[in-house]
Chains A and B, each alone.
Chain A
Amino acid sequence: MKRPPMLMHLRIERERRGFGLWLPLFLLLPLALVVFIILSPLILVATIVLWPSGWGKRALLTLRASVDIFCSMRGLGIDVHSGRQSVSMTVV
C-alpha cells in the first residue's frame, strides 16, 4: 500500500504579488474514512444490485483505482509561468 500524499502546496503570483497555500491533505483522510463508513451500507446495496449487470464489480474497481490514483500523487509538480503570472502546485 502506497503512502497517501500529506500536503499540497499551491502558489499563485501576479505582478510580483502572490500568495502560497499549504493544504493539509492528511486532514481529509479521516474525513474521507468517516464518509466511507457512513456510505458503506449504500455502496454495498448498490454493488449487490448492480452486480448481475457487471457494473457492480466495475464500481468497486473504480473506487479502488481512485484511491490508488490519489495515493500515487506524491511528487506531482506543476509549474506554469505566463507573462507576469505564475501558478505552481506541488503534492508532497
Chain B
Amino acid sequence: MSDNKKKILEMLAKNKISADDAYRLLSAVDGGEGRRESTGRAETAAKSKAKYLRVTVLPNPESDRSGSCDRVNIRVPMSLIRAGIKLTSLIPSEARDKVNLALHEKGIDFDVRNMKPEDIEELIGALSDLEVDVVSKNGESVRVFVE
C-alpha cells in the first residue's frame, strides 16, 4: 500500500474527511499509479523493440557534391550482438585472467567470469538508450545509435 493511500485512510479514520472524499482521493491515487505503470511498460516495450545497432559515417554535405567521399553504413542485428556477448562464457580461464588484468590496467574493475545471462539482457537493454553523435572539424559525422 502506498503512503498516499495510508494517509487518506488515516484521515478517514480520524474523521477529517468523509467516506465519499476518501473514495474520490483513493480513485485519484489509483489512476495516477496506473498511468505511471503503463508509461513504464511502454518504455520497456520500446526498449525491447530495438532491433538494430546502426553505425553511420557521413561526409560533409558541402564537400560531397561529387559523391566521391567515403561513406559507411553498418546495421547489426541486436540478436547478433547478444549471441556475440554469450561467447564470453567460452573464453578459457587462462585467457579470462588476461582479459580481467587488461581491463584492470585500463581502470575497469570488471570480472568477465561473473557475467550472467541476466547481465547480458541488462546490457542489451541499456544499449537501447545509446546514442553517439560526433561531428569532426571538416564536417564528417559519425553516428552510433539503436533503432
B68 interface neighbour in A69, A74, A83, Cβ under 8 Å: A83
Do A68 and B83 touch (CB < 8 A)?
yes
In the bound assembly, the distance between CA atoms of A82 and B70 in angstroms comes to 4
Do A61 and B89 touch (CB < 8 A)?
yes
| Residue B135 is within 8 A (CB to CB) of chain A in the complex | no
Count of A-B contacts with CB under 8 A? Answer: 57
Question: Which residues of chain A are near B73, meaning CB under 8 Å?
Answer: 77-80
In the bound assembly, the distance between CA atoms of A72 and B52 in angstroms comes to 12
B77 interface neighbour in A73, A80, A82, Cβ under 8 Å: A73
In the bound assembly, the distance between CA atoms of A79 and B76 in angstroms comes to 12
| Residue A9 is within 8 A (CB to CB) of chain B in the complex | no
* Size category, B interface: 20 to 34
Residue of B nearest to A84 (CB): B68
Q: B interface, by DSSP: helix, strand, loop or mixed? A: mixed
Question: Which residues of chain A are near B92, meaning CB under 8 Å?
Answer: 58
Do A72 and B70 touch (CB < 8 A)?
no
In the bound assembly, the distance between CA atoms of A77 and B75 in angstroms comes to 5
Do A79 and B72 touch (CB < 8 A)?
yes
In the bound assembly, the distance between CA atoms of A62 and B74 in angstroms comes to 26
Interface flags, B67-90, vs A, CB<8A=1, else 0: 011111111110110111011011
Q: A69-B87, A81-B71 are in contact. List 9 more A-B contacts (CB 8 A).
A: A58-B90, A65-B83, A65-B90, A69-B84, A72-B77, A75-B52, A78-B74, A79-B72, A79-B74
Interface residue ranges, A against B (CB under 8 Å) = 2, 58, 61-62, 65, 68-69, 71-84
